[in-house]
Amino acid sequence: MLPENETLAEARRHMAVCNSCRYCESYCAVFPAMTMRREFSAGDLTHLANLCHGCKGCYHACQYGPPHEFGINIPATFAEIRAQSYAHYAWPRAMGTLFERNGTVVTLAAALGVTLVLLLTMALVDPSILYTAQRGEGAFFRVIPMWLMVSLAGGTFGYAIIAMLIGGIRYWREVGGGAPAPGPIVDTAVDILTLRNLGGGGHGCNDVDDSFSSQKRWMHQAMFYGFMMCFAATTAGAFYHHILGLRSPHPFFSLPVQLGTWGGVLLCLGTAGLIRLKIITDPVPVAKRLVGGEYAMLSLLFLVGATGLLLLVLRHTGAMGVMLALHLGLVLALFVALPYSKMVHGVYRGLAIWRHAREKRSSVMVAAE
Amino acid sequence: MVDLTRVWDVLVAGGGNAALSAAITARRAGASVLLVEHAPRTMRGGNSRHTRNLRALHPAPTDVLTESYLEEEYWDDLLRVTGGKTDEHLARMCIRASQHAPDFLKSCGVVFQPSLSGTLSLSRTNAFFLGGGKALVNALYRTAEQLGIGILYDTEVQHIEVQDGFATEAVISHHGFPERVRFKALIASAGGFQANRDWLRKYWGDAADNFQIRGTPYAQGRLLRDLLDQGVQEVGDPTQFHAVANDARAPMEDGGLAMRLDCVPFAVVVNRNVERFYDEGEDVWPKRYAIWGRLIAQQPGQVAFAVTDSKALHNYLPSVFPPYKANSIAELADLAGIDAGKLEKVVADYNAAVRPGTFQPMKPDDCRTEGLSPPKSHWARLIDTPPYYCHPLKPGITFTFLGVKVSDRARIIMADGKPSANMFASGEIMAGNILGQGYLAGFGMTIGTVFGRLAGEEAARNVRN
Ligand SMILES: Cc1cc2nc3c(=O)[nH]c(=O)nc-3n(C[C@H](O)[C@H](O)[C@H](O)COP(=O)(O)OP(=O)(O)OC[C@H]3O[C@@H](n4cnc5c(N)ncnc54)[C@H](O)[C@@H]3O)c2cc1C
Ligand code: HEM
Ligand code: SF4
Ligand code: SF4
């Protein structure tokens, strides 16, 4: 459980005001979840914080927002608690400190990832291959041997999954999620896949100021689905390679390249859009300590997408080798950073949304009795 | 930059719902409009920023209101709370026009909660603003900006030059600097005077220092005073205000709705001298809600203490500030700073008088006392299950009733009964025309929107002619 601290005390004070006011009950899932409680343990607050989507609706609507002496600012307070929970549930525990200067950490990971892959490539294959055009079947693997690519990517990704899984399990146990019986999976999936809670109840969020827009939601959707398509592209590539026996580079209109291309485009558009929003948004309802890490992760994702697209464009030229090393280095950095960056929010948010769907269902059942 | 050298068609004094509804309507009708708000931008919107709903007539369910709510029922409700102190013609006109208030506000970007999720039993009669009044005010200001309405924050209208019912010029204080504004028509929408303690002291003496002002501290009534002093006819009892029981630890100003306490019917309430002074179980919400502020205002030190036990804790909304909590009545009295022996006796006498009954928190039940004075006529249960709780209470003033008299076209009426040539009013500053006493939840915003629109239309027409 998060140790008692000032932020939790501050959040508890916020909840006392909100629970008597309740003007924001229709914005998102947080307020209905709040009204189910009167007392707020560290676990409850961690759950509510991870349920919050940071849409800022309740901040701009709050008559108790700064400069009012109550200074209610739910999005910033909850963002801080979220970040604390990422650090607290990190596995191994000691790695939690990486959340402290996350911008630097993610940037360093990117630099190291690229350097490592470049050095390895030069050490393992003839360095001139890096600069000469490689064509035909297996071109990529002449630059970076397949065993190296698979073991690096597979190893880091596997590690990230295990670390995030352990973190997720510890989070669920400590926060008090209850027995993980199959719950309202459909509701949960719909809330996650549509980002319903970034909808402000239908008319959009306060992305920039007190006006409503759905930009953040759409940009995240582009990034999310772009990311997933890139992931699917890799899976399709493996399928082509191992099952169909087709070797890369695949033609432009093949499934892996199509998924990767459009996924990359969406990823770039989404991350660029989110960076833009971050620059122009009203800074008060934002946890300033966390902004660096968010910029770094958004930039890393953008670069992963951008280098992937460049790789596609340049794959028949002499620039392919360097581009491939660059892209792979960034992907490795992303994988390594998954459990120790903003990216873990997917795990905890997903769990919080699932738990809320379960609570909603059981409270409906109680009401019906 | 707002041009203060030109002659504006319409000057709107105030920055709440009534002012914005008027300004937007006048601008849409083609007039140039300057809106002057005393508060800084971050605290703009007067009492309107603390509201949550408005009451609207509707013959059939809408997207924001359930079932139906017709003129006769609305009128009956109003008649009941005002005890007949209303103007039937104006009231019925306002009730009929309230049907279109939600759509008007929607056209200005205000978002309502879908009708199903409405709180309490109010979702039939009242439409709730998504996010409450501040979200509403934000949307109205945004619309006003888009329409090209001039807006001055941090600017007080201090004086209007009036000759024979005709206003020519305003003296304003803009960020502390004196300026003059010329205009063709004035819309006064500057709210009540409830935050002006010196003024309240005239009627209430030193007690006024202990009143909490629930809403904006900018409700100083400066424009109201100025207009009344210049021959505008007044309405409403100047000594009266609407007040509720607030938490005694709330801020003295701007504490808003979350400071009200709803525990009275489930408690016994004593004053500073540890005497009960009124039947806590007299009536259901919302009537009881409205009388307790006044009752506490009349007690010594303007303070009271509601005592309950752990059985009752979940019968009312949680309070922002935690109640005093103790395992004995004597300890509780010590925490609250009142006489322990007396409180023990009050609770013992009360417990002895409680008659068995079936407790029903949502409607007047048969749990009552016998032989106790004053009695507690509903929800009377033994106070015997520790821990015991005590909520300290003070009066929270919502608004004052004094206002300027208006016609059914929102035109200000002069003391001699003649309509002003170019002055109009909307909102709290004229609500006393309809609400002579009492209050109907959601009617303040209805009056502001309906008369705001009327004032805007009339002022724009006045300018054209
Ligand atoms: C806590 C609370 C909750 C409420 N909830 C509801 C509710 O749910 N529904 C409802 O219908 N009613 C509610 N009311 C009542 C409602 O707030 C008022 O009836 C309504 O807001 C009146 O609108 P208005 O525009 O006339 O006044 P206000 O919103 O008070 O606006 C007056 C404006 O005038 C400005 N001003 C004052 N003097 C000057 C000056 N000299 N120069 C320039 N500007 C000046 C002020 O700064 C302010 O912006 C509530 C009131 C309070 C306090
Ligand atoms: C369970 C699935 C997911 C949910 C519910 C979710 C939800 C959210 C929400 C609500 C935000 C905005 C609030 C905040 O900054 O914390 C956000 C931000 C972010 N998400 Fe996700 N997300 C999910 C999965 C992903 C995935 C798969 C990615 C990778 C592409 C991703 C990348 C990001 C990034 C980089 C940000 C930061 C954006 C910024 O700071 O502007 N998310 N996510
Ligand atoms: S954020 Fe502000 S307006 Fe919304 S429920 Fe909390 S206290 Fe009320
Ligand atoms: S910021 Fe948005 S998602 Fe978070 S609690 Fe407020 S309204 Fe809900």
What integer pLDDT is reported at residue B133 of this predicted model? Answer: 98
* Statement to judge: residues B225 and B284 lie in one domain: no
Q: How far apart are the first and last CA of chain A?
A: 33
DSSP A242: I
Q: Is the pLDDT of residue B323 over 50?
A: yes
pLDDT digits over B142-161, tens only? 999 999 999 999 999 999 99
* Statement to judge: residues B153 and B23 lie in one domain: yes
Q: How far apart (Å, rounded) are the C-alpha atoms in residues A262 and A274?
A: 18
Would residue B56 count as lying in a domain?
yes
Q: Is A200 in the pocket of ligand 4 (CB under 6 A)?
A: no
Task: Calculate how far, in angstroms, residue B371's C-alpha sits from the geometric centre of ligand 3.
Answer: 44
CA distances from B282 to B122, B289, B292 (A): 21, 11, 11
Distance in Å, alpha carbon of B252 to nearest chain A alpha carbon? 11
Distance in Å, alpha carbon of A85 to nearest chain B alpha carbon? 26
Q: How far apart (Å, rounded) are the C-alpha atoms in residues B44 and A163?
A: 49
Q: Is the pLDDT of residue A190 over 60?
A: yes
Q: Is A188 in the pocket of ligand 4 (CB under 6 A)?
A: no
- pTM for the model: 0.95
Q: Is A274 in the pocket of ligand 2 (CB under 6 A)?
A: yes
> If you average pLDDT over every residue of chain A, what do you get?
92
Q: Is the pLDDT of residue A367 over 60?
A: no
CATH code at position B57: 3.50.50.60
pLDDT digits over A212-227, tens only? 999 999 999 999 999 9
Least confident of A77-81, A249-253, B306-310: A249-253
The first and second tokens of residue B199, run together, are 């003024």
CB pair distance less than 8 Å for A27 and B131? yes
Q: How far apart (Å, rounded) are the C-alpha atoms in residues A141 and A134?
A: 10
Q: Whose CA is nearest to atom 22 of ligand 1?
A: B428
* Statement to judge: residues B392 and B427 lie in one domain: no
What are the two backbone dihedrals, phi and then psi, of residue B145, each rounded to the nearest 5 degrees?
-60, -45
Q: For residue A255, is it left (φ>0), alpha (ψ between -120 and 50) or beta?
A: alpha
Distance in Å, alpha carbon of B461 to nearest chain A alpha carbon? 31
Q: How far apart (Å, rounded) are the C-alpha atoms in residues B454 and B97?
A: 10
The first and second tokens of residue A273, run together, are 């859009």
> Residue B135: closest CA among chain A residues belongs to which residue?
A61
Read off the pLDDT of each residue in A96-113 and give the average, rounded to a whole number: 95
Q: Across the strands, what pairs with B324? A: B390
Using most ligand atoms within 8 A of CB, pick from A23, A48, A73 the residue to mutate for ligand 3: A23
Q: How confident is the model at residue B116 (pLDDT cuts 50, 70, 90)?
A: low
Using most ligand atoms within 8 A of CB, pick from A15, A24, A26, A27 the residue to mutate for ligand 3: A24
CB pair distance less than 8 Å for B320 and A16? yes
Task: Give the strand pairing for B388-400 and B212-213.
Answer: parallel
Residue B222 burial class via C-beta count within 10 angstroms: exposed 0-12, middle 13-18, buried 19 and up = buried
Q: How far apart (Å, rounded) are the C-alpha atoms in residues B30 and B19?
A: 17
What integer pLDDT is reported at residue A242 of this predicted model? Answer: 87
Q: Is the pLDDT of residue A42 over 90?
A: yes
pLDDT digits over B343-402, tens only? 999 999 999 999 999 999 888 899 999 999 999 999 999 999 999 999 999 999 999 999
Q: How confident is the model at residue A203 (pLDDT cuts 50, 70, 90)?
A: confident
* Statement to judge: residues B280 and B378 lie in one domain: yes
B73 contacts B50 by C-beta, under 8 angstroms: no
In b/e form, how buried is each residue of B302-335, taking b as 16+ CB within 10 angstroms? Answer: bbbbbbbbeebbebbbbbbbebbebeebebbbee
CB pair distance less than 8 Å for A16 and B138? no
Q: Is the pLDDT of residue B333 over 60?
A: yes
Q: Is B293 in the pocket of ligand 1 (CB under 6 A)?
A: no
CA distances from B126 to A176, B66, B135 (A): 38, 9, 17
Q: How far apart (Å, rounded) are the C-alpha atoms in residues B325 and B336?
A: 9
Residues 6+ apart with CB under 8 A from B143: B20, B24, B108, B109
Would residue B2 count as lying in a domain?
no
Rounded to 10 deg, the angle between the B340-353 and B329-336 helix axes is 130
B139 contacts B108 by C-beta, under 8 angstroms: yes
CB pair distance less than 8 Å for A58 and B131? yes
Would residue B77 count as lying in a domain?
yes
Residues in chain B with CB shorter than 8 Å from the CB of A20 are 258-259, 317-320
How many Cβ atoms from other residues are within 10 Å of residue A369's Cβ? 5
Q: Is the pLDDT of residue A170 over 90?
A: yes
Read off the pLDDT of each residue in A24-35 and give the average, rounded to a whole number: 93
How many Cβ atoms from other residues are within 10 Å of residue A251's Cβ? 9
* Statement to judge: residues B413 and B354 lie in one domain: no
Residue A37 burial class via C-beta count within 10 angstroms: exposed 0-12, middle 13-18, buried 19 and up = middle
Ligand with an atom nearest the CA of residue A296: 2
Residues 6+ apart with CB under 8 A from B186: B10, B11, B13, B160, B167, B170, B422, B423, B424, B459
What integer pLDDT is reported at residue A369 of this predicted model? Answer: 41
Read off the pLDDT of each residue in A52-75 and give the average, rounded to a whole number: 96
A304 contacts A330 by C-beta, under 8 angstroms: yes
Q: How far apart (Å, rounded) are the C-alpha atoms in residues A2 and A10?
A: 14
What integer pLDDT is reported at residue B290 of this predicted model? Answer: 73
CB pair distance less than 8 Å for A64 and B42? no
Query: In total, how many domains does chain B have?
Result: 2
CB pair distance less than 8 Å for A67 and B43? yes
pLDDT digits over A276-303, tens only? 999 999 999 999 999 999 999 999 999 9
Q: Which domain holds residue B278?
A: 244-396
Express as a percent the part of chain A with pLDDT over 70.
98
CA proximity to B44, closest of B12, B16, B11: B16
B94 contacts B137 by C-beta, under 8 angstroms: no
* Statement to judge: residues B414 and B381 lie in one domain: no
What integer pLDDT is reported at residue A368 of this predicted model? Answer: 44
Read off the pLDDT of each residue in A41-53 and give the average, rounded to a whole number: 97
Q: Is A48 in the pocket of ligand 4 (CB under 6 A)?
A: no
Q: Is A198 in the pocket of ligand 2 (CB under 6 A)?
A: yes
Task: Calculate how far, in angstroms, residue A344's C-alpha sits from the geometric centre of ligand 2.
Answer: 9
Q: What is A276-312 written as a DSSP string? A: HHHHHS-STTS-HHHHHHHHHHHHHHHHHHHHHHHHH
Alpha helices (H) in B219-339, listed in sequence order: 222-229, 287-297, 329-336
Q: Is A356 in the pocket of ligand 2 (CB under 6 A)?
A: no
* Statement to judge: residues B313 and B388 lie in one domain: yes
Is-cis flag, bond preceding B286, omega within 30? yes
Q: Across the strands, what pairs with B112? A: B129
Would residue B338 count as lying in a domain?
yes
* Residue of A26, A66, A69 with shortest CB distance to B113: A26
* Statement to judge: residues B422 and B392 lie in one domain: no
What are the two backbone dihedrals, phi and then psi, of residue B171, each rounded to the nearest 5 degrees?
-100, 125
A77 contacts A87 by C-beta, under 8 angstroms: no
**Which of A13, A23, A34, A72 to mutate: most B Cβ within 10 Å?**
A23
Q: What is A97-140 written as a DSSP string? A: GGGTTHHHHHHHHHHHHHHHHHHHHHHHS-GGGGTS---STTHH
**Which of A13, A19, A20 to mutate: most B Cβ within 10 Å?**
A20
Segment 42-81 of chain A within 8 Å of chain B by CB: 57-58, 60-69
Beta strands in B320-406 (DSSP E): 324-326, 388-400, 403-404
pLDDT digits over A310-365, tens only? 999 998 888 898 899 999 999 999 999 999 999 999 999 999 999 999 988 877 65
Distance in Å, alpha carbon of B396 to nearest chain A alpha carbon? 16
Would residue B289 count as lying in a domain?
yes
Rounded to 10 deg, the angle between the A320-337 and A146-175 helix axes is 20
B286 contacts B121 by C-beta, under 8 angstroms: no
CA proximity to B448, closest of B417, B422, B424, B427: B427
Q: Is the pLDDT of residue A180 over 90?
A: no
Last-in-domain residue among B372, B396, B420: B396
Angle A75-A77-A80 from CA coordinates, rounded to 5°: 105
* Statement to judge: residues B330 and B227 lie in one domain: no
Task: Give the strand pairing for B7-13 and B177-188.
Answer: parallel
Residue A67 burial class via C-beta count within 10 angstroms: exposed 0-12, middle 13-18, buried 19 and up = exposed
Last-in-domain residue among B373, B396, B419: B396
| Continuous segment of H or E residues that includes residue B89 | helix B88-97
Last-in-domain residue among B396, B427, B448: B396
Q: Is B450 in the pocket of ligand 1 (CB under 6 A)?
A: no
Using most ligand atoms within 8 A of CB, pick from A47, A58, A286 the residue to mutate for ligand 4: A58
* Statement to judge: residues B40 and B168 lie in one domain: yes
Distance in Å, alpha carbon of B385 to nearest chain A alpha carbon? 19
* Statement to judge: residues B178 and B289 lie in one domain: no
| Continuous segment of H or E residues that includes residue B307 | strand B304-309
CA proximity to B364, closest of B387, B380, B348, B384: B380
Q: Is the pLDDT of residue A138 over 90?
A: no
Ligand with an atom nearest the CA of residue A29: 4
Distance in Å, alpha carbon of B108 to nearest chain A alpha carbon? 12
* Statement to judge: residues B277 and B411 lie in one domain: no
CATH code at position B328: 3.90.700.10
What integer pLDDT is reported at residue A93 of this predicted model? Answer: 93
> Residue A56: closest CA among chain B residues belongs to which residue?
B131
Q: Is the pLDDT of residue B139 over 60?
A: yes
Task: Calculate how far, in angstroms, residue A18's C-alpha sits from the geometric centre of ligand 4.
Answer: 12
> Residue B247: closest CA among chain A residues belongs to which residue?
A20
A156 contacts A331 by C-beta, under 8 angstroms: no
CB pair distance less than 8 Å for A201 and B142? no
A–B CB contacts, 8 A cutoff, strictly below: 81
Express as a percent the part of chain B with pLDDT over 70.
97
Would residue B448 count as lying in a domain?
yes
Task: Calculate how far, in angstroms, residue B258's C-alpha sits from the geometric centre of ligand 3.
Answer: 9
Q: Is the pLDDT of residue B452 over 70?
A: yes
pLDDT digits over B265-314, tens only? 999 999 999 999 999 998 766 566 678 999 999 999 999 999 999 999 98
Q: Tell whether A255 lies on the interface with B, counting CB pairs under 8 A.
A: no
Q: What is A307-369 written as a DSSP string? A: HHHHHHHHTTSTTHHHHHHHHHHHHHHHHHHGGGSGGGHHHHHHHHHHHHHHHHHHHHHHHH-
Q: Is B238 in the pocket of ligand 1 (CB under 6 A)?
A: no
Would residue B239 count as lying in a domain?
no
